[in-house]
Amino acid sequence: MTAGIADLASNVKRDEVKVWIDGVTGFTPAEYADSVYGSQARICEYLGESLTYADLICYSGFAFRVGVHDAMCPSAGHPCCGYQCLDNGFRAMPWKMKLHESFPWSDAPEDRAAFQAEVCGAVKASIDRGVPVHYGGEEDGLIIGYGDDGRRWWCVHPYHSGGGAEPFWHDEATGFAGGKWPWAVVVWTGPKAAADRADRGELLVASLKQAVAMWGAEKGVEDHYFCGEAAYEYWLGWLRGVEAGTVDDPKAGMGGNGWCFDVLVHSRRIAGAWLTQRAEDYDGVARERLLVAAERYGKIVDVCMRDLELTWALALPPAKFDDWTGEMRRDQMERLEAAREHDRAAIDAIGQAAAAIGDGPKAR
């Protein structure tokens, strides 16, 4: 249940330098590989909403996606990179939102100073109400306080030093965490009325249909990203090329290889548990097919993590290029080939479940 606005405001603290919301914690990339939905999940958790990170990445389709950049860019953890995994996730959100966007590839506001003043005012008002603000660029985090009458922001971010837990001033940060104006600032303006909240059964069916569509889509919205089965083929081809010595700069692709592997395990582990829970709402074919898909996703995790504590122990980061052996690459290829078969079977079961459920409400 959503916390009362008065209760939220009681968490707002002040000192001589800043105003901040007490009790909002950050997160690490290991906890939430998807920083967009990780940020939203943290706000939901703080507000007392029942919508979880697992709900968000599954309803959005992200947990069912496999996407690989043609230059092995390490962006597999972002729902906007490649096949878009946004619309259904935002439909699931229990609060109304106001987006203040300033993307580098879009036209700049005619009056930049007025735009920034408006955003700073909206951030200040939200913090004063006790509601954190979602901000981001390449990766996302949370504004949990302000200084200088709203012109400075006190933040947490998964890619800031301290592993996402240490708050910092946005204008003193670097990299993904800050130092420049964000691409987007999202202010949560208030809870949606019960009648305006999306039906859970409809969200499920939409996510299952998206999972099937992504598997068969060679590429997503952006031409540089392969998707679904085509992503596996390109990924495996890249690893084979590294082995054969035909990849010009294999070290440059190691970060992307590692992130793809890590996100695959992260998302399929969550998807398997989530589908098992959703199956409890149904009987017959729908229930059975959802459980089959969940089992297959569990097998992906098992085969990818066999005898490993961390995915990065096999798919090494660029800093360990000299330790990345042919044996390790062949081992990863073997695991990915098995994962692809389980993924294919899971998608087949998901398609059957979606057909059995249809567009109606949950069975029971």
User: Does residue 228 carry a pLDDT above 80?
Assistant: yes
Where does the pLDDT of residue 137 fall: very low under 50, low under 70, confident under 90, or very high at 90 and above? very high
Give the global pTM: 0.94
d(C-alpha 153, C-alpha 21), whole Å: 12
- Does the pLDDT value for residue 248 go beyond 60? yes
User: What is the average pLDDT value for the chain, to the nearest integer?
Assistant: 94
Write down the pLDDT at residue 112. 93
pLDDT above 90 covers a percentage of the chain that reads 90
Query: If pLDDT is split at 50, 70 and 90, which confidence band does 360 have?
Result: very low
Across residues 232-252, what is the average pLDDT?
A: 97
Q: 177 with 135: CB under 8 angstroms?
A: no
**Radius of gyration over alpha carbons of the chain, in Å?**
21
Predicted pLDDT of residue 222:
58
- Pick the residue with more confidence: 3 or 123? 123
CB 285 within 8 A of CB 219: no
* Nearest residue to 296 via CA among 250, 233, 339, 252: 339
Domain ranges of the chain: 1-26+98-191, 32-94+198-364
**Model pLDDT, residue 26:** 94
Question: In the prediction, which pLDDT does 359 show?
Answer: 52
pLDDT mean over 64-72: 96
pLDDT digits (tens, 9 = 90+) for 35-53: 999 999 999 999 999 999 9
Query: Which of 35, 56, 71, 37 has the alpha carbon at shortest distance from 250?
Result: 71
Per-residue confidence (pLDDT) for residue 105, from 0 to 100? 85
| Residue 72: closest CA among 258, 328, 333 | 258
Q: What is the pLDDT of residues 320-356, one digit of tens each?
A: 999 999 999 999 999 999 999 999 999 999 999 999 9
Q: CA-CA distances (angstroms) from residue 250 to 192, 238, 318, 322, 325?
A: 48, 9, 9, 11, 12
